[in-house]
């Protein structure tokens, strides 16, 4: 595995890491402030929930399109241009808050617009990383990126958001706008070589390119198995996330402090998982085995979480769940980057994200129904079962999951 210091010095990884961390910090501020502002503007639970829904829906509508565009353009320029545009939108929204000209319709439009832009930004970011670090360092780089984002969002931005809100309703949004501009400057300062792409042919359309990406993902048996596994797992995780407060308060009998303890345990586990992800892969003996172990560990911890009724033990179990989840995310992203053919990474990664987002709201509905029908611990047990099924879907491809290129006969991405 590549040394962290080498990653920071080579190809501007430190600047990319800084851009990712500062962006997640701003996202955490906005993610806390926007629902609170919605609650102050309307007493309709439906309208308030729509603000959150607008943060997911664009992935279903434009996720695949964002991946196709990311494969066509210079990813670095696309990222900083999107961040500049998002910064302008957030600054304008902050001004509207200062002038008291905000309505629930503006909140819905803002959430939808920001996530629509994010579909291009996130797919471009996934495709850009292999141009910044060598292939053998991808797992370590992904781990450090995700860990930095978790630290900046959960342990810095999250706690600071209530302080800024107390000082002024517009401050979290102004700060978020500033983070977009800082991130844009950091990404624009990167110097990367042109992305690897096959020669362009006449008559190619975005629709055709999206279809090529989906077909390529399905032809590669490793990526196909990953996609099925992610689809099952994210339904379970959606069920857990949507009802976590019900499980903690209704099943464990914990108050607000207990809820904070449990969620903090999860966050700590995520950070530790990011720090130890590359070492975990080495100990497990490969990326395929690591994914299987991580999936099984997640399922086992959720069985304990939905069976045992002790708050501190629940915090430890969710910490292990977060650890395994971060390791899973690192390995999954790395394998997708390594196995995607030249010029198709944006489209393949967008298909994964679209599947993930589609599973979350479906899981939320299933979790609510399970809690209503079978009790407050049922969502955790449902999530455990789905994660176990997701892990089982990986078993047929364990021997080939560590390959660095596609097995479908397409031209693999050039090794670096």
Q: What is the pLDDT of residues 272-291, one digit of tens each?
A: 999 999 889 888 888 888 99
Domains along the chain?
Answer: 4-188 (1.20.1250.20), 211-397 (1.20.1250.20)
pLDDT exceeds cutoff 50 at 408: no
Q: What is the pLDDT of residues 71-94, one digit of tens each?
A: 888 888 888 999 999 999 999 999
CA-nearest of 112, 174, 144 to 19 is 144
Confidence of residue 414 (pLDDT cuts 50, 70, 90): very low
Model confidence, pTM: 0.79
Cα 216-217-222 angle, rounded to 5 deg: 120
pLDDT attached to residue 177 = 95
Phi, psi of 341 (to 5 degrees): -65, 165
Beta-carbon contacts of residue 6 (< 8 Å; ≥ 6 apart): 137
pLDDT exceeds cutoff 70 at 3: no
Instruction: Tell which wins on pLDDT, 206 or 338.
Output: 338
Q: Which two tokens stand for residue 96?
A: 């509207």
pLDDT exceeds cutoff 90 at 252: no
Q: What is the pLDDT of residues 231-251, one digit of tens each?
A: 899 889 888 887 888 888 888
Asked if 352 contacts 149 with a C-beta cutoff of 8 angstroms, the reply is: no
Asked if 51 contacts 108 with a C-beta cutoff of 8 angstroms, the reply is: yes
Q: What is the pLDDT of residues 144-199, one digit of tens each?
A: 988 998 899 888 888 888 888 888 889 999 999 999 999 999 999 887 665 555 55
Euclidean distance between the first and the last CA atom of the chain, given in angstroms as a whole number: 14
pLDDT exceeds cutoff 80 at 409: no
Average pLDDT over residues 352-364: 79
Instruction: Tell which wins on pLDDT, 391 or 368.
Output: 391
Asked if 348 contacts 217 with a C-beta cutoff of 8 angstroms, the reply is: yes
pLDDT exceeds cutoff 90 at 205: no
pLDDT attached to residue 251 = 85
Beta-carbon contacts of residue 395 (< 8 Å; ≥ 6 apart): 292
Beta-carbon contacts of residue 237 (< 8 Å; ≥ 6 apart): 325, 359, 360, 363, 383, 387
Average pLDDT over residues 305-328: 93
Per-residue H/E/C for 29-40 = HHHHHHHHHHHH
Q: Which two tokens stand for residue 13?
A: 């990884």
- The beta-carbon contacts of 106-110 under 8 Å, at least 24 apart in sequence, are 107/34, 107/37, 107/38, 107/41, 107/51, 108/50, 108/51, 108/54, 110/34
pLDDT attached to residue 80 = 92
Asked if 233 contacts 360 with a C-beta cutoff of 8 angstroms, the reply is: no
Q: Which two tokens stand for residue 123?
A: 């797919």
Asked if 272 contacts 325 with a C-beta cutoff of 8 angstroms, the reply is: no
pLDDT attached to residue 303 = 96
- Average pLDDT of the chain is 83
pLDDT attached to residue 1 = 42
Cα separation, 128 vs 223, whole angstroms: 19
Average pLDDT over residues 361-369: 83
CA-nearest of 374, 230, 393, 233 to 302 is 233
Confidence of residue 412 (pLDDT cuts 50, 70, 90): very low
Cα separation, 248 vs 367, whole angstroms: 14
Q: Above pLDDT 90, what percent of the chain?
A: 27
Confidence of residue 402 (pLDDT cuts 50, 70, 90): low
Instruction: Tell which wins on pLDDT, 96 or 248.
Output: 96
Hey, which residues does 412 pair with through a beta bridge? 341
Question: What sign does the CA torsion over 314, 315, 321, 324 have?
Answer: negative
Q: What is the pLDDT of residues 366-380, one digit of tens each?
A: 888 888 889 889 999
CA-nearest of 270, 375, 245, 265 to 314 is 265
DSSP letters spanning 125-139 = HHHHHHHHS-GGGHH
Q: Which two tokens stand for residue 55?
A: 């943060």
pLDDT exceeds cutoff 60 at 404: no
Q: What is the pLDDT of residues 10-31, one digit of tens each?
A: 558 888 888 889 988 988 888 8
Average pLDDT over residues 316-332: 93
CB atoms within 10 A of CB 323: 26
């Amino acid at each position: 595995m590549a040394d962290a210091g080498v990653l920071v010095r080579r190809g501007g990884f430190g600047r990319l890491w800084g851009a990712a961390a500062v962006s997640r910090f701003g996202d955490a501020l906005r993610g806390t402030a926007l629902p609170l502002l919605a609650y102050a503007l309307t007493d309709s639970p439906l309208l308030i929930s729509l603000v959150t829904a607008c943060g997911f829906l664009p992935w279903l509508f434009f996720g695949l399109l964002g991946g196709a565009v990311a494969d066509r353009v210079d990813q670095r320029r696309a990222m900083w241009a999107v961040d500049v545009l998002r910064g302008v939108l957030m600054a304008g929204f902050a001004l509207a808050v200062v002038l008291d000209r905000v309505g629930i319709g503006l909140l819905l439009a803002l959430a939808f617009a920001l996530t629509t832009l994010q579909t291009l930004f996130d797919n471009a970011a996934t495709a850009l990383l292999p141009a910044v670090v060598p292939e053998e360092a991808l797992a370590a780089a992904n781990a450090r990126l995700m860990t930095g984002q978790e630290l900046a969002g959960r342990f810095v931005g999250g706690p600071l958001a209530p302080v800024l809100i107390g000082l002024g309703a517009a401050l979290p949004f102004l700060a978020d706008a500033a983070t977009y501009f800082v991130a844009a400057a950091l990404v624009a300062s990167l110097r990367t070589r042109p992305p690897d792409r096959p020669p362009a042919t006449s008559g190619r359309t975005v629709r055709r390119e999206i279809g090529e990406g989906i077909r390529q993902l399905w032809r590669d048996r490793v990526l196909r198995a990953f996609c099925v596994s992610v689809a099952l797992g994210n339904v379970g995780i959606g069920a857990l996330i949507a009802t976590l407060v019900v499980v903690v308060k209704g099943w464990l009998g914990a108050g607000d402090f207990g809820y904070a303890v449990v969620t903090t345990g999860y966050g700590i586990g995520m950070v530790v998982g990011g720090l130890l992800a590359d070492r975990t892969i080495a100990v497990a003996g490969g990326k395929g085995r690591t994914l299987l172990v991580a999936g099984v560990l997640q399922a086992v911890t959720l069985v304990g979480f939905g069976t045992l009724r002790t708050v501190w033990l629940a915090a430890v179990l969710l910490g292990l769940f977060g650890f395994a989840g971060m390791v899973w995310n690192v390995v999954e992203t790395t394998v997708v980057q390594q196995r995607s053919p030249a010029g198709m990474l944006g489209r393949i990664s967008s298909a994964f994200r679209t599947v993930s987002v589609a599973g979350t709201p479906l899981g939320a509905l299933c979790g609510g129904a399970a809690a209503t029908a079978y009790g407050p611990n049922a969502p955790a047990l449902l999530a455990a079962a789905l994660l176990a099924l997701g892990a089982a879907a990986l078993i047929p491809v364990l021997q080939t999951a560590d390959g660095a290129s596609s097995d479908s006969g397409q031209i693999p991405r050039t090794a670096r």
